[in-house]
Amino acid sequence: MTQSATPPIPNRQAIPNRQAGFDRLRQLAERPDGRRITPLFAAEPDRAARFTAFFDDLSLDFSKSAIDDTALETLFALAETADLTGFRQRLFAGQPVNQTEHRAAMHMALRAPADAGLKAVMASGDQVRTEDAAAMAAAERDKMRRFVEAVHSGAQKGATGKTFTDVLTIGIGGSDLGPKVATEALTIGRFDQKMNAHFLSNVDGSAFLETTRGLDPARTLVLVASKTFTTLETAMNAAAARAWIVAALGDKAVASHFAALSTNLKAVAAFGIKPDRVFAFQDWVGGRYSLWSPVGLVIPLAAGWDKFQQMLDGAWAMDCHFRDTPLRQNLPVLLGLVGIWNTNALGCATQCILAYDDRLRRLPAHLQQLEMESNGKHVMLPDAAGVSRPTPWDTCPVLFGEPGTNAQHSFMQLVHQGTRTVPVDFILAANADHDRPDAHRALAANAFAQAEALMRGRSEAEIRAEMATHGASPAEIDAIAPHRVAVGERPSNTIMFNRLDPFSVGRLIALYEHKVAVQGCLWGIDSFDQWGVELGKQLASGILPELTPHAERKDHPDAAKGGHDSSTTALIQRFLTLRGDA
């Protein structure tokens, strides 16, 4: 539906109001003991209960943070100043909250029932278009389901008449990480895997060789996942995969072996993929929110349709929780506010993600993109006068992580004893899906112990006493004891749920999606664009012809352009010399 109207003006807040809130947070952290956690536990026996929020079996324990009642009230006041409630309404009303691209951020429609009534309002100039996003997504989901069932039943076969056993997904960033984490979470260790899933993202030719090694082209279905269908890495890998299929099975095989997942139907057609093999989604889905869309087609192909649907149901349950629950009991809101405290009151520049579940081993990589591409911004949305100014406060921390317990044997040393405070999110399921309960108990014991150790630390007095008991000399105690001190008072959240099933996977990822939206709202930035990645892409496309062998340069008019700084010029020259192309 297209109509002419003035686009709604979202979320314009005067900076000074917010600045006072951020200033107050910093002042609270500067109080004596303002950064300490253990005194809060000592003062309040039921702290854990009061600082744990629940959504069914899913709990968020944020008690191991230096947030007391005053700090929590200040965070809620800041949320009010930033009009978080209004922002949440605009998000679910499908307003163009992605203001720099005039787009809604309506990924929730991908997991909502068809009749949920979720709309997306897209503004262009003075034109405003409203789409029934949930209905559109459901129609495409039906098409996906029919395709998945046809592949599984063998109705859709490869060019030589063999059924598909393997699915190779080519995509990068949001067109890779979300589908990968979900596919692994829904298939690793479970025995009813329907197809083998393979992922190719990096343009590095070794990645192509490694991913296709041992794959039988006759039994491989290739999915090209790209929202824009213009991404260099994906285009080059798709061309390589096409050549690989053609070399083995001939030109005609492309039609039966390829499918595309994109918003750019023109470019897909130009690649030669037929419309019935194209699964579309719309601009109101950001790349890093697209695993729920056709971009996630590999998930039901590998894990089965029912599990995919259950994952969508879990995400939708979290959407409804976020939309309908008062801020004080709202998990994404609380998770977001704790992060604001760590970043803006304590000045932490990092956030560690430790999922004590090997099936979530790619979760940190997905959350890196989700959080850092969404909230790695330094300019605020337009103020009341329509001016976009730099944020006077810090925004997204640097995320990193590994599965627990592996992380404990690598970087956790720094988290316990380094000079900087690194907040940690511990994530674990109470019940495992294997027959080694002892292993799962060991996993959980380590998660709980790490969180406790970070908070409690170990004092020099304790260490001295222990060393003396073990017969160490006073000189040795003086020299060694300080090295063994762990200062403690280091914050963490613990996110726990019953079991890592498809429903809880969906719920968990959606929890972080909405946390990102909450933080973006408080920081006053656009969480849904990603302009920062454009410059590198532009420069790379300029440099590419300069790296072209001498003999082929006449085909590349840009090749001799140069105009780089002396370091880049020298690096290019050295590269060409080492390759014998100078």
Site for ligand F6P in 349-388 (CB under 6 A): 373
Query: Is 307 in the active site?
Result: no
- At its nearest, how many Å lie between ligand F6P and the CB of residue 293? 10
Closer CB to ligand F6P, residue 9 or residue 540?
540
- At its nearest, how many Å lie between ligand F6P and the CB of residue 275? 19
Closer CB to ligand F6P, residue 59 or residue 228?
228
Q: What angle do CA 378, 381, 383 make, to 5 degrees?
A: 120
- At its nearest, how many Å lie between ligand F6P and the CB of residue 228? 3
Closer CB to ligand F6P, residue 65 or residue 234?
234
Which of 21, 94, 96, 287 is close enough to bind ligand F6P by CB under 6 A?
A: 287
Give residue 336's identity as a one-letter amino acid code.
G
- At its nearest, how many Å lie between ligand F6P and the CB of residue 110? 15
Site for ligand F6P in 516-545 (CB under 6 A): 530, 533
Tell me if 494 contacts ligand F6P by CB under 6 A.
Answer: no
How far is it between the farthest Cα atoms of the chain? 84
Identified catalytic residue from 266, 409, 470, 483:
409
User: Given the rule CB under 6 A, which of 132-140, 160-168, 222-230, 343-351 is the region that contacts ligand F6P?
Assistant: 222-230
Taking the C-alpha atoms of residue 518 and residue 332, their distance in angstroms, rounded to an integer, is 7
Residue with tokens 């020259």: 573
Q: With b meaning 16 or more CB within 10 Å and e meaning fewer, what string describes 189-211?
A: ebeeebbbbbbbbebeeeebeeb
- At its nearest, how many Å lie between ligand F6P and the CB of residue 509? 15
Number of residues that bind ligand F6P (CB under 6 A): 14
DSSP string, 201-249: ----HHHHHHHHTT--GGGEEEEEE-SSS--HHHHHHHHHHHHHHHHHH
Residue with tokens 């004092």: 459
Name the nearest CA neighbour of 46 among 31, 61, 35, 29: 61
Name the nearest CA neighbour of 315 among 327, 307, 304: 307
Structure tokens at 515: 């946390």
Closer CB to ligand F6P, residue 405 or residue 530?
530
- At its nearest, how many Å lie between ligand F6P and the CB of residue 235? 9
Closer CB to ligand F6P, residue 163 or residue 228?
228
Q: Determine contact, residues 508/537, Cβ cutoff 8 Å.
A: no
Structure tokens at 303: 């894990």
Half-sphere exposure (Cβ direction) of 302: Cα atoms closer than 13 Å: 27
Name the nearest CA neighbour of 350 among 425, 454, 263: 425
Tell me if 502 contacts ligand F6P by CB under 6 A.
Answer: no
Q: How many CB atoms lie within 10 A of CB 269?
A: 14
Identified catalytic residue from 252, 378, 537, 561:
537
Tell me if 175 contacts ligand F6P by CB under 6 A.
Answer: yes
Residue with tokens 């393997």: 166
Closer CB to ligand F6P, residue 419 or residue 538?
538
Which of 88, 227, 277, 361 is close enough to bind ligand F6P by CB under 6 A?
A: 227
Closer CB to ligand F6P, residue 364 or residue 404?
364
Identified catalytic residue from 131, 371, 373, 513:
373
Tell me if 288 contacts ligand F6P by CB under 6 A.
Answer: yes
Taking the C-alpha atoms of residue 369 and residue 14, their distance in angstroms, rounded to an integer, is 29
Tell me if 228 contacts ligand F6P by CB under 6 A.
Answer: yes
Which of 212, 234, 342, 395 is close enough to bind ligand F6P by CB under 6 A?
A: 234
Which of 95, 231, 408, 519 is close enough to bind ligand F6P by CB under 6 A?
A: 231
Q: How far is CA 384 from CA 2, 87, 139, 210, in A?
A: 27, 16, 40, 53
Closer CB to ligand F6P, residue 98 or residue 234?
234
- At its nearest, how many Å lie between ligand F6P and the CB of residue 492? 29
Give the single-character DSSP code of 175.
G
- At its nearest, how many Å lie between ligand F6P and the CB of residue 104? 17
Segment holding 3, helix H or strand E = strand 2-4
Query: Is 157 in the active site?
Result: no
Taking the C-alpha atoms of residue 212 and residue 206, their distance in angstroms, rounded to an integer, is 10
Query: Is 373 in the active site?
Result: yes
Tell me if 297 contacts ligand F6P by CB under 6 A.
Answer: no
Site for ligand F6P in 145-174 (CB under 6 A): 172-174
Q: Which residues bind ligand F6P (CB under 6 A)?
A: 172-175, 226-228, 231, 234, 287-288, 373, 530, 533
For the annotated catalytic residues, the residue numbers are 373, 409, 537
